Amino acid sequence: MIQFDSVNFYYSKGKPLFQQLELQVQTGKIYGLLGTNGTGKSTLLKLLVGALFPKKGSITLQKPDAHHALQPKHRPVELLQDIFFLPEQFQYPPVSAKTFLRMEAAFYPKFDLQLLNRLMGDFDIPTSTKLNRLSYGQQKKFMIAFGLACKTTYLFMDEPTNGLDIPSKSKFRKAIASNLEDHQVVIISTHQVSDIDKLIDSIIILKQGQVLLNSDIAEIEQKVSFIKNKEKPERDDVLYTENILGGFISIVPNSDDIISDVELEILFNAFTTNAKAMSQLFK
């Protein structure tokens, strides 16, 4: 489990990014982290891995087999070896995959070489080319494969599908869904909502440094319905409406207990334009 308690953070005084941020993340789930540019998605992930520290408040990561909560600020070995963070941008040294593994894999006690080799085959990653000479998409796929092979309890990814072609995005979803264990927690920060909408279990929406939504997909299905019509609906309980090809899609309270597919992009737009009404529904 991950717990944020009253976390404050800023890059420059007078411009707070997070104020009294409260957030709880459960193990055994894949979270989609959504927010507009500058709302703090990448910063939140960096706080989790101990690359940044809260100005006030606390962040704890509770391992299933740990006797006490681990604080990212203290950066103990037992915490760092159980976290893998894939940033949006990274730079490889001019070495082969084999040399990279010799340099890095030893830092992760649960590293699974067989899994890495299988994923590299699935992703069609060349093994002889130096990593810095691979295309951006191939580099990203190698790091995704490496991160999954580390088998860490905490796996955090910032825009992992950027640079991937359509077949690779499908392979990415399959790799994530097929190779996680119950004790792991995955947080994927992305603007590419359609790349993860069938993958995630829960969604976190950030706006202006606050959590607008932290909910399982199943709960969202119970709370609201997504209705498509050719004409703009005139009913009084419409929470949000958006033009789509062929008509309109609306979000309404699910008063009839009819389960509809969650449209993540529409849900995100609803929370960013009508946050008060949407948040009230999910209290």
224 and 204 part of one domain: no
232 and 268 part of one domain: yes
Eight-class DSSP state of 159? S
6 and 66 part of one domain: yes
Burial class (CB within 10 angstroms; exposed 0-12, middle 13-18, buried 19+) of 80: middle
Rounded-to-integer distance, Cα 111 and Cα 151, Å: 6
190 and 71 part of one domain: yes
pLDDT digits (tens, 9 = 90+) for 107-137: 999 999 999 999 999 999 988 889 999 999 9
35 and 123 part of one domain: yes
Q: Which amino acid is at 155?
A: L
196 and 222 part of one domain: no
pLDDT digits (tens, 9 = 90+) for 164-206: 999 999 999 999 999 998 889 999 999 888 899 889 999 999 9
40 and 173 part of one domain: yes
Strand ranges in 134-196 using DSSP code E only, listed in sequence order: 154-158, 185-189
| Domain total in the chain | 2
Which one, of 186, 210, 202, 176, lies nearest residue 267 by Cα?
202
Residue 85: CB partners within 8 Å, gap ≥ 6? 45, 46, 48, 49, 51, 156, 157, 158
90 and 197 part of one domain: yes
168 and 223 part of one domain: no
pLDDT digits (tens, 9 = 90+) for 74-97: 888 888 999 999 999 888 889 988
Rounded-to-integer distance, Cα 82 and Cα 110, Å: 9
Residue labelled with tokens 């597919």: 261
pTM: 0.93
